[in-house]
Amino acid sequence: MARADDTVRADRGVRVGGEVDPDARWLRAVLDAAFLLLLGSSLLRHVLLHGDEPLIGWIVTLFVVFGLLHTLGRALAPAPRPGARPTTGYLVRLGAVLAVWIVLLVLAPSSAWCAMPLFFAGLHTLPTRSAVALASVLTVLVVASKLRFTEGEFDPNVLIVPPAVAAVGTAVLIALQRQASRQRVLIEDLVRTRRDLAATERRAGILAERQRLSAEIHDTLAQGLSSQQMMLQAADRLWHADPDAARGHVREAAGVGARGLTEARRFVHDLAPADLAERTLVQALGALADRESGPALSVVLRVDGDPGPLPERTGAALLRIAQGALANVREHAGATRAALTLTWLGDRISLDVADDGAGFDAGAVPAPGAGSGRGHGLPAMRVRAYGAGGTLTVESEPGGGTVVTVALPLTAPHILEEVAP
């Protein structure tokens, strides 16, 4: 698995997306420039004051080796990334640099100023305890070097200034390191939270799609197959007693199968219901009422208000809910009459599906998939209404018929991808 912050170290710079962090690169450039400037000035001062010494050649060589170890040695032993333990190679290089500097400090006291870049480099790359120990050693050596070559009256600043500067620098850099460490932890937590949120959203999307597929199958294919089954069973019972009526049931079953095939094809292509392909919602509901009407059940359509244009998803949701409600009336209510009432109310539209059937306890509607698999219709209709930004209510009591009412906004944004709580 990729790292949470998706970064890799490149010496003391942090490489993000293939680019070196400009802040780290700028800090390294400043430290290198300061080191080379102090190294050059220390070497020049020693040559000007002690150029006739016998060991001047060795001292110049040590200055060169010191500079190469500090600047070019990074290619062989790069510094660790912030917060990581230093490698053995890096510690060996740092120890070699420190050893050469101590030798130079003995032979050329002017090299004491080169401790400043070493001081900041150590604090920037080493763990806190190691960095404080290194800063203390450097400070003691610098003070000892200054005291060794002090001439004349004693200057108390030699004992006070280096430790004070070292203490301030150490405190500031350690505070910055700890703050950066806390920020890295927060960023990693944020990235991990975002990754978890993305996974949760994917799972919610899968659940919402399953709900949508379940509702679509229930409102189209399942209802059509149920109607076909009822018609074919009726035809089978009348096949010898009343052949004409039996053939009529078979023709009706064939018509239902043809409509189901059309719905299935459009369902595969994720299009609107077949009845809305070339019709308005009022026309589609009228055709639905005609199809559902028969000898045992009379279905009528009423329209209140001035019909106007509808968003495609609003019309599809209302038609599917009407199909589901009438399927429940046909299969469960034992009703003789049903009415579809479509009402335009300014910025809202409502649909009532009322019947004079047996009714039921509206407070005991099972959840989808509960029990034997029946009772999926009303929960699915609620999900569809919620997904279109509206509400669905059911008024019923045993022996008193049923009224299903859905109200949807005409201008509110749709949230069909969400799942009702």
Whole-number average pLDDT of the chain: 76
Q: Domain 280-421 has what CATH class?
A: alpha beta
The pLDDT of residue 1: 40
d(CA 391, CA 372): 27
The answer to whether 256 and 228 are in contact (CB under 8 A) is yes
When pLDDT is cut at 50, 70 and 90, the band that residue 18 belongs to is very low
Output the pTM of the full model.
0.42
How many other CB atoms sit within 10 Å of the CB of residue 25?
16
d(CA 135, CA 142): 11
First to last CA, the chain: 34
Residue 72, pLDDT above cutoff 90: no
d(CA 340, CA 358): 18
Q: What is the mean pLDDT of residues 263-287?
A: 73
- What is the longest distance spanned by two Cα atoms in the chain? 136
Residue 95, pLDDT above cutoff 90: no
Residue 85, pLDDT above cutoff 70: yes
Query: How far apart, in Å, are the Cα atoms of 178 and each of 8, 22, 100, 174?
Result: 20, 20, 31, 6
When pLDDT is cut at 50, 70 and 90, the band that residue 352 belongs to is very high
The pLDDT of residue 152: 60
Residue 13, pLDDT above cutoff 60: no
The answer to whether 351 and 289 are in contact (CB under 8 A) is no
Q: What residue spans in the chain does CATH classification 3.30.565.10 cover?
A: 280-421
Q: What is the mean pLDDT of residues 8-37?
A: 60
State the pairing for strand pair 337-345/298-304: parallel
pLDDT tens for 207-249 read 776 776 777 677 677 777 887 888 888 888 888 888 888 888 8
The pLDDT of residue 385: 87
State the pairing for strand pair 348-355/7-10: unpaired
When pLDDT is cut at 50, 70 and 90, the band that residue 88 belongs to is confident
d(CA 311, CA 181): 52
Paired with 22 in beta bridges are none
The pLDDT of residue 273: 67
Torsion sign across C-alpha atoms 50, 55, 60, 62: negative
Burial of 355-373, coded b for 16+ CB within 10 Å and e otherwise, reads: bbbebbeeeebeebeeeee
Reported as type and span, the H/E element at residue 256 is helix 243-268
DSSP letters, 40-81, are HHHHHHHHHHHTTSTTHHHHHHHHHHHHHHHHGGGGTSPPPP
Residue 340, pLDDT above cutoff 90: yes
